[in-house]
Amino acid sequence: MMGSEDLHIAVTGRKRHPTLWFDDGNIILTTNVSLFRVHRGLLSMNSPVFADMLAMPQPDRMEDSFEDLPIVEINDNDTDFTHLLCFFYDRRYYQGGTQTTFEKISGLLRMSTKYQMDDLRNEIISHLSVAYPSTFEKYSDAVDSKTQLRLFPPFHGQHFAVVALARKSDASILLPAALWRSMCMTTRDIEEGIEDSTRTKHSLSPMDAKLCVRHKHHSYKLWVQIEHVLPNVLVASECVRSDPRAGNVLPCRELARFEIMQYQYFATTGPAIRDDHDLFTEMNAFEMWRPLVCDGCRRRLIQRFLFGVRMSGAPCLHCSISPNGTAEETPCPELVCLPTTEFCHANSVAACTVLARNQNRGDTMLTEFYSPVIRSFDIQP
């Protein structure tokens, strides 16, 4: 709180909020912009922080008062705090799962974190997790234009803003997908930030920008490796598939080589070469391979390259089928259903130890984004 002389200076120039000024309110809160006349009981009921603060005994003579009511200085962003008070008075102001604005949802997450409103905080994180999920399967849906749900109107720099929000509010579950999607922006944007339509600039912290640039480099190295090595994984003697374009039968291996030649030609002769691609979804889906290869070869590709994992012979705990030798005859369900594996890998070892140890840089390319727990995993470079 502030002294009476300072209070007069502080209140001067601050305006009563048009809707959050109640004649029967019994306390006044002030930010650096607005004055709010609200109800102590409502504040205490919604937040243990307010409850503890307002439970403190008040002096008989209140030097810090306005219109004979106690006044409390709030050092929060005016917009964020306004969103919080609006939610206090109208629970329909924000409803998880319904479209809203990023300004509202980010402000409420910051405020619910500060004022220990766990239910609201968890609901907002769950809401944001629809677009920034923690599983591979849900991530594929989140970035697919046919299945994705719009939580708020998209804007330039959105992924950078979500990273900053997750850092500020300690919502680490959002970081893997948010950092990955940030990495998929151009290198220039990662290093310099992006302005949205309101001229607001969204930037990554120096640490996160460095992390994204480094992993973008690793992801492209892996992509080049996949493009060149993938056809050689296929065994021509074990696979044939009718090629309707040529009217004959060609091994999947030859079809894959032909497709790579076409892909590389158009990639290098196109109108512009950009580096803002989501390589994870391209590698995960094998879009250019699915319609080309037979089921047997597709299984080989999944075993060898899905998420950069190289089969190490470790048994899958989910089905107790060793992927080394028996997967061809009795495919381990995890080799096909692996997209359900947790993004952060914190629980993935319990699902399938194949991911815990691998000999391909691709997995560390993904896992190094994640929590410090991941760094303790014994992942071979």
Residue 293 makes CB contacts below 8 A (sequence gap 6+) with 234, 239, 241, 252, 255, 256, 301
Asked if pLDDT for residue 67 goes beyond 70, the answer is yes
CA dihedral defined by 275, 281, 282, 283, rounded to 10 degrees? 110
Res 96: pLDDT: 85
Q: What is the pLDDT of residues 81-113, one digit of tens each?
A: 999 999 999 999 999 888 899 999 999 999 999
The tokens describing 232, both together, are 């050689």
Res 133: pLDDT: 86
Q: What is the pLDDT of residues 297-355, one digit of tens each?
A: 666 655 555 433 333 333 332 333 333 333 333 333 333 333 333 333 333 322 222 33
The tokens describing 90, both together, are 């109208």
Res 256: pLDDT: 65
Asked if pLDDT for residue 202 goes beyond 80, the answer is yes
Q: How far apart are CA 372 and CA 369, in angstroms?
A: 9
Pairing label, strands 15-21, 34-38: parallel
CA dihedral defined by 102, 107, 113, 114, rounded to 10 degrees? 160
In the numeric block, the tokens 């158009």 are attached to 266
Count CA within 13 A, CB hemisphere, residue 247: 0
173 vs 143, residue with greater confidence: 173
Domains of the chain: 4-93 (3.30.710.10), 102-204 (no CATH), 216-375 (no CATH)
Q: What is the pLDDT of residues 114-131, one digit of tens each?
A: 999 999 999 999 999 999
Decide: 96 and 124 in contact? Cβ < 8 Å: yes
